[in-house]
Structure 1
Amino acid sequence: MLGKHSKVCFGASLGALVLSVILAAWGFPKIVDKQIQKNIQIDNSSKMFEKWRVLPMPLQFKITMFNVTNVEEINKGRRPQLAEVGPFVYKEYRERTILGYGENDTVKYMLKKTFIFDAEASAPLTEDDVVTVINFSYMAALLTVNDMMPSLIPTLNKGFEELYSGLTDAFMTVKVRDLLFDGIYLNCVGNQSSLGLICAQIKADMPPTMRLAEDGNGFYFSMFSHLNTTPTGPYDMVRGTEDITELGHIVGYKDKNRMSAWGSDPYCGKLNGSDGSIFPPIDEKNVPARLYTFQPDICRSIYISFVEKTSIFNMSAYYYELSESAFAAKSANPNNRCFCKKNWSANHDGCLLMGLLNLMPCQKAPAIVSMPHFYLASEELLDYFNSGINPDKEKHSTYIYIEPITGVVLKGVQRLQFNVELRQMNIPQLEKVPTGLFPLLWIEESAVIPEHLQAELRESHSLLGYVEIVRWGLVAVAIAALAISAYLVTKTGALPICPRNNNTVSFVLRPAPNGIEVNKG
């Protein structure tokens, strides 16, 4: 009877072992992956949905100005001297408005940003501080006209002198609040006929940095007020309910599936990556070499490159960083050739220098972006300045730390600098200035996951740790049960795994056939 029971136990434990191995190798990971997907997908039922729709904490939006300290010397042809003033810190709130759900598992939404000055974080600086900077809109207008019809410059400049009251050179002294958000007043009432042409063109184009004055007699120019007033989009994003590896991928912007600013080239026009707020989980066996984010303000996707696996906030993380290839010249990265539209300087043929992107095709203005202080850009750009430009990786790089299980950004910093060419022209304001790329300001957009969300993630990691214990604990118990039952089966002889000795005497000692004995005497 004991042998019969031991055989049953052995079979049951063997089956339990097979089942536990299947669960450990396939079942538990599948269940865990499904639960993670359920929690992070863009769906009303997920834990992440409301955090994605309304960002639970503000980002930090920092602006650092390049104050020009030797205007008179520059007007005589000497190299610029700059001094950083900043950062001026703003709280950036983000909220998405869902417009609907589309085919291919997508959600359509608008993104609204709101910027509020953070006096405490900016102190002792205030928005009423005064800086002397390059007159960005004036230079942009002159360069645009110069590229189309240089002979018009002297005539139109008379109108610009009335548009920008008191215009004596390519620089302006202004309150920070006016330059950034409130607006610098541009006067459209004057005696020059060219002023009417300029104002009519502004009204026809109405670039985002301009807004009509209340009295209708002018405009206000500011760098970022449009971000505070106009939602961007609509975006079409993959929700991740069908394929979690596609979570957050932007597949449409303003109802287009590619960016047309760069012509028909499939590389530069491709909508690729997320909006920077959400990424899919990272498979530790297949870590992507690059992660892409779509940046509508520059009409392209930017990639960051994998650097290392590390830890932050007592959690494992993957560290990605913007590399020099992203804004590389076409000689260093041939794929970037389609971002090249026009030289910023007659000294160079082909594309822009290393580390620059011309926004003319995107924003219809000759603005050029780079990393702050021309970090990762050509050293030729640095030679233009006497002082004030000092690229530093710690201060000027762009990077993120991503938690691999959920794809949550634990910490991220994105930095960008806005520049315009200061070009020598045959007008009083520019007849002696040295030609070169001149920075106006640089921005830093950063986020750190708040402590209560860190705690939630760590709690989730603990639960996953318990699941792992149970997962392999079941296998261990099954192995132990199989070992015990195998021992019992062997001991009772229920299975002929190790035959007992009562029938194993050598044939030499067995009775011979017909009763004949052998090997006796």
Structure 2
Amino acid sequence: MRPRTSKPVTLGILGLLFVLLGTFLGYYWPILFRRILTQELVLSPTSKSYNAWKNSSAIPITMEFYFFNWTNPNELKIPGKKPILVEVGPYSFVEKREKVNITFNPENSTVSYLQRRFWYFDEKNSKGSLKDNITQLNVVTVSAVHKVRYSSYIMRSSLSYLLSQSPEIHVVRTVDELLFTGYKDVLIDLGKLAGMTDETPPFDRFGWFYTRNGSTDFDGYQNMATGEDDVRNIGLFKFWNHKDTTKYYKSPCNAVEGSAGEFWPPFRTEEDITIFSADLCRPVTYEYERTVYHQGIEGYKYSVGKKTLSNDTKRRYPHEQAKYFEPTTTTEDFFTAEHSGEVIESVEDPDVVNIGQCYCNGECSPMGLINITACRYGAPGFVSLPHFHKADPILRDQVVGVNPDDEKHNFYIVLEPTTGIPIDVAARFQINILLQPSNFVSTFNDVPKIYFPIFWFNLKSGTTDDLAYSLRQMLMLRSIGLYISVAIIILGLLLLLSIPTLYMVKRKREISRIKGKRALASDKKMENIYLDKSNVNDDAHTRADCQLYPKL
């Protein structure tokens, strides 16, 4: 006969197996989840993210333009009078992006492409018409005066004579002309007659987005890491216009580095992030601000701050790399006022480079401005946050009508830290033109020196409800695996804890059974006490008729 297996032993074995299984799953599930996530995030022709990256139709992108209407241009040269600006807009557009000429390079795990962008006017969400007239600084004239300030006497005299025939420093144009249609200007034609150089714009009209709608020329040739070799490299810019450096700044500020802005490595930390901007011809640093929630998803919020807007941002490089850098130079004079802002003490270390100053292009501007003169054909262009947010107060004091608000004017990116997916983006920059007096152009003799606000834009993008739901489901997958492992461990522990309980129950039953036998034996003894056996005939095996009575 086969012996029966003890139930406590069976439960002990099952409990131990469940504990081991749950521990194994809890330890290896994050590793498995990371591997699955990595495979899903890597950019390839077969990945889920490829179609959304190739064509942004499924992702809503809006571009809002706000113009500063100059209401008192005739008072520019009156001492004590400041330009009065009135913000108008938004003029809203729907933006679509499309990647073309896509080439995957498996030998170095990169992808090369050109980007085409389209803008479609959204009249419903706009406050105004594209036919609205806007009075603004004459950017073409101001740029021409700025560019010839070091030219020959003949060039400067010719420009001075030409501008004396049309002395207006402001223009009145429609929103459409200022943005996409452009407008003719005699100085543009004269510039072409003077001969094409690197600083001669290849346009026959002026407009901030003239010829950009549907063009692939402005964003340039881009080469980005796909993350196939290492997911930590996904989205990193490798080459821009076939080079890993630019011609606009000295080393090390000429490096092409940072993200392309669409893909980020997963498992983020609170460290700064960097994006290479083709419009600014340089990388831009975003600093961790705080943890926020967007559509029920936890995200890390990064925003543009002092590390991008300051002229005194230092960075340490490996010595073998830093010793080849060109020394940065700057002229520290700007107006006669002292600039506010945090001053970082000088570090006597040859490997520490003041990268803030090597973006100055000569004369450093106040805190809050990014000099883009070098990559905009020599025009005195400066980028800031809208309404000079986070900038030196001296910039706001020069004009009337700018009122910075962090909620409206901050430039931020919110990344989901586990996947690195951008869930909320608000790209906000303001375009300013440096207006300054000129000794050789009579029209500009008495003008004040002002970083003149022209317009600012607000590019908004983020996850749709469907994408947010899918992202939440994917993030729940990580938690579900951990919950299951914990549940299995708890079940195993309960099975193990049930063993002593079973022993106690069995022990109680055994004790009860023994007590029952003792009680039965005691009852039989009591019967013997009262039973009269004197007349019992054992031989006849018959029962005598006897009566129970107590013995005396």
Q: Same fold (TM over 0.5)?
A: yes
Equivalent-residue separation in structure 2 for 1:73 and 1:422 (angstroms):
15
Q: Report the counterpart of residue 181 of structure 2 in structure 1.
A: 182
The residue correspondences of 1:482-521 to structure 2 (distance < 5 A) are 482-484=496-498
Q: Report the counterpart of residue 299 of structure 1 in structure 2.
A: 281
Deviation at 1:484, TM superposition (A): 4.3
Alignment match of 2:86 (pick from 61, 72, 83): 83
Q: Report the counterpart of residue 402 of structure 1 in structure 2.
A: 415
Distance 1:102-1:137 versus aligned 2 partners, 3 A rule: farther
Q: Report the counterpart of residue 507 of structure 1 in structure 2.
A: none
Partners of 1:329 and 1:336 within 8 A in 2: yes
Equivalent-residue separation in structure 1 for 2:504 and 2:285 (angstroms):
63
Equivalent-residue separation in structure 2 for 1:490 and 1:235 (angstroms):
74
Equivalent-residue separation in structure 1 for 2:239 and 2:225 (angstroms):
10
Equivalent-residue separation in structure 2 for 1:103 and 1:254 (angstroms):
19
Residue aligned with 2:149, SS: helix
Deviation at 1:154, TM superposition (A): 3.1
Q: Map Cα deviations across residues 59-104 of structure 1 (whole Å, 9 max, x no partner).
A: 1111111111111110434321111111211111111121232433
Amino acid at match of 1:107: V
Deviation at 1:364, TM superposition (A): 3.0
- Find out whether 1:14 has 2:16 as its counterpart: yes
Amino acid at match of 2:232: T
Q: Report the counterpart of residue 239 of structure 2 in structure 1.
A: 252
Distance 1:278-1:160 versus aligned 2 partners, 3 A rule: farther
Q: Report the counterpart of residue 276 of structure 1 in structure 2.
A: 261
- Find out whether 1:28 has 2:29 as its counterpart: yes
Equivalent-residue separation in structure 1 for 2:503 and 2:223 (angstroms):
64
Q: Report the counterpart of residue 38 of structure 1 in structure 2.
A: 39
Partners of 1:131 and 1:173 within 8 A in 2: yes
Residue aligned with 1:96, SS: strand
Equivalent-residue separation in structure 2 for 1:420 and 1:133 (angstroms):
11
- Find out whether 1:228 has 2:227 as its counterpart: no
Distance 1:487-1:106 versus aligned 2 partners, 3 A rule: farther
Distance 1:11-1:207 versus aligned 2 partners, 3 A rule: farther
The farther-off stretch of 65-74 and 393-402 is 393-402
Alignment match of 1:68 (pick from 67, 70, 90): 70
The farther-off stretch of 390-399 and 356-365 is 356-365
Equivalent-residue separation in structure 1 for 2:236 and 2:254 (angstroms):
15
Q: Report the counterpart of residue 121 of structure 1 in structure 2.
A: 125
CA-atom RMSD, angstroms? 2.7
The residue correspondences of 1:213-224 to structure 2 (distance < 5 A) are 219-224=204-209
The farther-off stretch of 442-451 and 478-487 is 478-487
Q: Report the counterpart of residue 105 of structure 2 in structure 1.
A: 101
Number of aligned residues: 460
Q: Report the counterpart of residue 134 of structure 1 in structure 2.
A: 137
Equivalent-residue separation in structure 2 for 1:188 and 1:315 (angstroms):
52
Deviation at 1:181, TM superposition (A): 0.6
Partners of 2:140 and 2:187 within 8 A in 1: no
Deviation at 1:291, TM superposition (A): 1.3
Alignment match of 1:199 (pick from 192, 204, 211): 192
Amino acid at match of 1:398: F
Residue aligned with 1:248, SS: coil
Distance 1:188-1:391 versus aligned 2 partners, 3 A rule: closer
Equivalent-residue separation in structure 1 for 2:54 and 2:343 (angstroms):
39
Q: Report the counterpart of residue 192 of structure 1 in structure 2.
A: none
Q: Give the gaps of 5 or more residues in structure 2.
A: 313-341, 345-353, 508-552
Equivalent-residue separation in structure 2 for 1:447 and 1:438 (angstroms):
28
Q: Map Cα deviations across residues 313-363 of structure 1 (whole Å, 9 max, x no partner).
A: 1121222222233110227464312112222xxxxxxx2211112112222
Partners of 2:41 and 2:49 within 8 A in 1: yes
Deviation at 1:311, TM superposition (A): 1.3
TM-score, normalised relative to structure 2: 0.77
Equivalent-residue separation in structure 1 for 2:343 and 2:99 (angstroms):
38
Equivalent-residue separation in structure 2 for 1:491 and 1:273 (angstroms):
68
Alignment match of 1:437 (pick from 430, 440, 451): 451
Distance 1:14-1:258 versus aligned 2 partners, 3 A rule: farther
Equivalent-residue separation in structure 2 for 1:298 and 1:249 (angstroms):
17
The farther-off stretch of 273-282 and 82-91 is 273-282
Equivalent-residue separation in structure 2 for 1:420 and 1:288 (angstroms):
35
The farther-off stretch of 310-319 and 152-161 is 152-161
Residue aligned with 1:45, SS: coil
- Find out whether 1:362 has 2:363 as its counterpart: no
Partners of 2:22 and 2:487 within 8 A in 1: no
Q: Map Cα deviations across residues 414-467 of structure 1 (whole Å, 9 max, x no partner).
A: 111111111122434222221221111111111132222122223333444433
Partners of 1:10 and 1:486 within 8 A in 2: no
Alignment match of 1:92 (pick from 90, 95, 100): 95
Equivalent-residue separation in structure 2 for 1:470 and 1:295 (angstroms):
44
The farther-off stretch of 317-326 and 6-15 is 6-15
Residue aligned with 1:89, SS: strand
Partners of 2:144 and 2:187 within 8 A in 1: no
Amino acid at match of 1:170: I
